[in-house]
Amino acid sequence: MKTLSWNCHGHGTPWAFQFLTEIVIQKHPDFLLLSEILCKRNTVEKLQNRIGFEGMVIVETQGHSGGIDFLFRNNDVVNLNSYSKNHIDLTNHNKQCQLYRVTGVYSEPDRRKRSEIWNLLRTLAMYNNLPWCLIRDFNNVVSQNDKKGGRPYPHNLVQGFRDVLEECQLIDMDLQGHRYMWERGVGTSQWIEVRLDRALVNVSFQAMFEVAKLINLEISTSDHCPILLALQDKNYIARTQRFKFENAWLHETMCQQIVAEVWAEHEHLSLFDKLKECLNILSAWGQEITGNFKQRIKSCKRILKTLKGRRDDNSVELIKHEQRKLSEIYTQHEVFWRQHSKQLWLREGDSNIKFFHASVKKRRAINKITSLKDRDGGLVDWNSGLENMVINYFDDLFTASQTK
């Protein structure tokens, strides 16, 4: 079971709608929790139909703020317990048909109303003794380490939130990935990062899902990053992930160098064993390239800011170097998401015949060969021997030759 949670700050916008669709296809969550949706019910229903989820509970936006909705893939495993403008409480069951609760929470941005949310948590805690998880934007930190930059978080809010967690016997789950999920003033002297989103669980929930993970996905069209709660039962056996080549790696000269070095160092091995060696090395190296786009972008921007502040002759070339590096990272990022969104094209093709045929025709037009250059550099088309030229090329290509 996976729960994807995101403060999307208005998923009615086209870019947020597209981002949500792609990330659901990539992560395949069973539940999708959204807050600050800033759109009407019919817009959420369009999203629901597009991603193929059966059920939905929505608390609509009040004025120009708020809004929270919970979408679920399978209608049969969910029962609605209660809801308000700040929460949706559901009862689900795992593969062994054991019941547990998941509550989506959206805390008041107004700090003067924070006590209302804390009282809500106390009331929900008394509902039953099932394994329980609360997830989403609590708009509060549990320690000063959850905030970087700006003024310290008010002590009374930190202590008040901690007191509620202790009273309700809730545990703050560890987060994998970047520590902070909300930011403002990126690259400026007022740059602030805060961890406002989290998952809180009780002891029985922790016992039911001992190997559960909370992951910061780190890529977002909002000022909040989405988080993914992956629930795994005790008897879960992790699958070995298959190797997948990322097109974004082709923009790194190191990729070609790795392959060349493997081929040179293992010249005596068979083709299969050479490919296996490449797989192992590229898998480890690739995680550093496509696994941390956000940190790499932040690092470049931080260096650029420092260099621009120096204003000396030596910094000019360094600034140009970092700008080129930042441009390359953005290109890799775009290629990465374009490759990972191909499943979206397949889904649209299956459900929309016109879209499917239009896409095929467009691809055929792009891939159609009308002419090629021969060895002398002259253009040869289908009326002047292109067919024979293609046949001769592949005859030469597949003619047996001496190999090691």
pLDDT number for residue 357 = 53
Q: Is residue 118 part of a domain?
A: yes
For residue range 66-117, what is the model confidence (pLDDT) as tens digits?
678 888 887 777 889 998 888 999 998 877 778 899 999 888 778 888 889 9
Q: What CA–CA distance (Å, rounded) separates 170 from 200?
A: 6
Mean pLDDT score, 23-35: 86
Quote the mean pLDDT of the chain: 78
Last residue of one domain, picked from the residues 202, 230, 258: 230
Provide CB contacts within 8 A for 118, sequence distance 6+.
Answer: 160, 161, 164
- The parent domain of residue 12 ranges over 2-230
Q: Are residues 190 and 305 in the same domain?
A: no
CATH number (domain holding residue 98): 3.60.10.10
Last residue of one domain, picked from the residues 195, 230, 265: 230
Mean pLDDT score, 111-140: 89
Q: Is residue 104 part of a domain?
A: yes
CA angle 290, 264, 243 (to 5 degrees): 30
Portion of the chain with pLDDT greater than 70, in percent: 77
Q: Are residues 226 and 274 in the same domain?
A: no
How many distinct structural domains can be found in the chain?
3
For residue range 197-252, what is the model confidence (pLDDT) as tens digits?
899 999 999 888 888 899 988 776 667 788 999 986 555 444 556 667 777 777 77
Q: Are residues 92 and 167 in the same domain?
A: yes
Q: Are residues 166 and 55 in the same domain?
A: yes
Q: Are residues 321 and 402 in the same domain?
A: no
Q: Are residues 127 and 163 in the same domain?
A: yes
Q: Is residue 242 part of a domain?
A: no
Ranked by mean pLDDT, which of 174-178, 252-256, 300-304 comes out on top? Answer: 174-178
Q: What CA–CA distance (Å, rounded) separates 167 from 42?
A: 39
Smallest CA-to-CA distance from 72 within 51, 86, 87 is with 51
> Residue 313 pLDDT > 70, yes or no?
no
Question: CA–CA distance from 65 to each of 38, 96, 266 (Å)?
Answer: 6, 39, 61
pLDDT number for residue 279 = 83
Q: Is residue 240 part of a domain?
A: no
C-alpha radius of gyration, the chain, whole number: 26
pLDDT number for residue 349 = 44
Q: For residue 23, what pLDDT band results from cuts at 50, 70 and 90?
A: confident
Q: Are residues 67 and 210 in the same domain?
A: yes
Ranked by mean pLDDT, which of 37-41, 74-78, 176-180 comes out on top? Answer: 176-180
Q: Is residue 238 part of a domain?
A: no
**33: three-class secondary structure by DSSP:** strand
Q: Are residues 258 and 215 in the same domain?
A: no
pLDDT number for residue 118 = 92
Give me the phi and psi of 84, to 5 degrees please. Answer: -155, -175
Q: Are residues 87 and 50 in the same domain?
A: yes
Q: Is residue 355 part of a domain?
A: no
Order of all β-strands in the sheet with 2-7: 55-59, 68-72, 31-35, 2-7, 227-230, 213-216, 175-176
For CA atoms 140, 143, 148, 152, give the dihedral sign. positive
Q: Is residue 237 part of a domain?
A: no
Q: Are residues 28 and 62 in the same domain?
A: yes
Q: Are residues 39 and 186 in the same domain?
A: yes
For residue range 276-291, what is the model confidence (pLDDT) as tens digits?
888 888 877 776 665 5
Q: What CA–CA distance (Å, rounded) separates 306 from 275?
A: 42
Q: Is residue 357 part of a domain?
A: no
For CA atoms 365, 371, 375, 378, give the dihedral sign. negative
Q: Are residues 324 and 404 in the same domain?
A: no
pLDDT number for residue 200 = 94
Q: What CA–CA distance (Å, rounded) separates 363 from 349?
A: 13
